[in-house]
Structure 1
Amino acid sequence: MLQLLLAVSAFTVAAAVYAVIGLRWWRRARLRRAVLGLVAGLELEAYHAAELRSEEIEAAAAELLLGGYLDIDGEGAARLTEAGRDPGRTPPGHPLPAALLDAVRRYDPEPVSIGCIDRYDTEYQIGRRAYARDRDARLPRITRIPRTPTHERGRLLDCCGCVGIVLLVGFWCVAGVLLLHAYPHGLREWAASVVAAASLAALGFAEGADRAVRARTACEDPLGDHARKQVHPALAVLDERQRVHVRRSTDDDGRWRGAVYEVDDPGEDEDDDLTDEVDDWWDAYHYRAADEDAEDEEDRSDGRPLG
């Protein structure tokens, strides 16, 4: 009789748990299809897609390089060409390469790296952020489907979930102990024991099943995934040598800093301080030696013995 009771209760609890997991699967899969369908219908502007991939300044540098405004050498130093210095030449029509060209002109005639502009140039950063805000404001609201549970539901629901997990673990432990200590008699009790054991085993794998459902239905960055499928036209046209030069200049933010950010080497300041200290010590030594020599001369002139 105990085996039959355990079988019914364990099967009912397991069915309820997996019903919740199945309902979560259906809901998340339905939401995921809707989100992916919405994102697939979006036509992202080329620089907006590059901005979502954090490649907007690299794409702008590539467009200026192809347009003859910039020259980037193998060390990542960007310099203006004659066309780039010509104020009468029409700048690029897009605001991002136009802002980058203005930034490079501010550092002319010294070479500057694209990474230095991206990190330190305030005017370029303001223009880039304004463009990103303007493009993001035109996007529809896109729902994220996280892989891991979030705590946006409220404390009450989180507490109820914790209580449910504690009760479920307690039931699993008690039912397992009773099933091990109750020896079945007859075919019916053996069948009930098998059903109870299978139900308890299924409950043990419920957490793994829930993680698998969340992983297979996750959609954490649908817009970013859509943007990563695109390549900016200027970056696609670059040959391998130009692509390496642009990437090297984008990654460098300290070597080529232009005329605005010329700073003294701190190592040289330390060497100068050390040299000054040594000179002061030698001056003090010479002064002391000169004073001792003067005292010796006075003692000899007075006829007094030294010592």
Structure 2
Amino acid sequence: MLQLVLAVSAFTVATAVYAVIGLRWWRRARKRRAVLALVAALDLEPYHASALKSEEVEAAAAELLLGGYLDIDGPGAARLTEEGREPGRPPPAHPLPAALLEAVRRYDPEPVSIGWINRYDAEYQIRRQAYEREQDALLPPIPRIPRDPGEPGRLMNCCGCVGIVLLVGFWCAVGMLLVLARPHGVRGWAAAVVAAGCLAALGYAEVAGRAVRARTACEDPLGDRVRTQCHPALAALDERQRLRIRRSADDDRMWRGAVDEDDDLEDDLEDDLDDDWWADAYHYRAADDDEPDGKPLG
């Protein structure tokens, strides 16, 4: 009789636990399908997709390079070509490569890196950020799938902890009763087997919950989509051109266009002061060595 009660109790609890897991799976899977369908239906402009993965400056440089406006050498220095210097030649139609072309023209004829423009050129940053804000405003709100079932608030977290404690206590109590109470007859053994099977299923409930969260995860669907896209200008480059653009975009120190002469003078002055300090230090050190024990020679 005890084994039958334990079997019914364990079966009821296991059914309730897996019903909650199944309901969570169904809700998360339905929400994930809706999010993926929404992201798949987006009509992303190529430069906007590049901006979402921080490659818009490389895409603009690639378009200028393919259009003959720009030339980038091996170390990553960007210079205008003769065609790029022609005053009558119209700039690219898109605002991002047009802004990058104007920025390079501001430093002409000095070489400048794409990374320097992207990081320090204020006018280019203003135009780039304005374009990104305009395109981001066109994106619909994308729902987020919660990572943790307890994310809605502290009350749900507390209820979840209490439920886990009760479930562990129930599992231990039923397990001890099954071990201590010897079943009698076929019905008793069958009930004991059912109870033991339900306890084993409860032991794997946490594993099942993690599997549900992993299978229905949808952390960054928009980022996953844009990472699979490549701007047409970048796709049209050969490996050598792609490497030079990447090197120029990563460099924000070496090639920085025209430099203010006052900055160079200050740097030279600081270097001269440092050199004088080391010379004086060596002079005083040499004087100390010439006078051992604090007495002058001779």
| TM-score, normalization by structure 2 | 0.87
1:84 aligned counterpart, secondary structure: coil
Tell me what 1:228 maps to: 227
Tell me what 1:181 maps to: 180
How far did 1:53 drift?
Answer: 2.2
Distance 1:268 1:175 in 2: 83
Contact persistence 1:78–1:113 (CA under 8 A): yes
Gaps of 5+ in 1: 289-306
Q: Check 1:173–1:287 CA distance in 2 against 1; reply closer, same or farther (3 A cut).
A: closer
How far did 1:254 drift?
Answer: 2.1
Counterpart AA for 2:189: W
Q: Check 1:281–1:222 CA distance in 2 against 1; reply closer, same or farther (3 A cut).
A: closer
2:143 aligned counterpart, secondary structure: coil
How far did 1:232 drift?
Answer: 0.9
Tell me what 1:57 maps to: 57
Q: Could you tell me the percent identity over the aligned residues?
A: 72
Contact persistence 1:46–1:232 (CA under 8 A): yes
Counterpart AA for 1:165: I
1:79 aligned counterpart, secondary structure: strand
- Answering whether residue 106 of structure 2 is matched by residue 93 of structure 1, we say no
Q: Deviations over 1:138-176 (max 9, x none)?
A: 111211225x31664122222212221222122222222
Distance 1:104 1:22 in 2: 58
| TM-score, normalization by structure 1 | 0.84
Distance 2:285 2:204 in 1: 84
Tell me what 2:129 maps to: 129
- Answering whether residue 125 of structure 2 is matched by residue 111 of structure 1, we say no
Contact persistence 2:48–2:135 (CA under 8 A): yes
Q: Deviations over 1:167-204 (max 9, x none)?
A: 21222222222222222222112111111111111111
Q: Check 1:284–1:249 CA distance in 2 against 1; reply closer, same or farther (3 A cut).
A: closer
Q: Check 1:151–1:276 CA distance in 2 against 1; reply closer, same or farther (3 A cut).
A: farther
Contact persistence 1:107–1:260 (CA under 8 A): no
Runs of 4+ aligned structure 1 residues displaced above 6 Å come to: 265-270, 282-288
2:83 aligned counterpart, secondary structure: helix
Contact persistence 1:32–1:145 (CA under 8 A): yes
Contact persistence 2:150–2:156 (CA under 8 A): no
Distance 2:122 2:75 in 1: 24
1:86 aligned counterpart, secondary structure: coil
Instruction: Answer with 55-64 or 210-219: which moved more.
Output: 210-219
When Rg is computed on C-alpha atoms for both structures, the one with the higher figure is: 1
Contact persistence 2:116–2:253 (CA under 8 A): yes
Counterpart AA for 1:58: E
Tell me what 2:291 maps to: none
Contact persistence 1:72–1:246 (CA under 8 A): yes
Gaps of 5+ in 2: 289-297
Counterpart AA for 1:133: R
Counterpart AA for 2:83: A
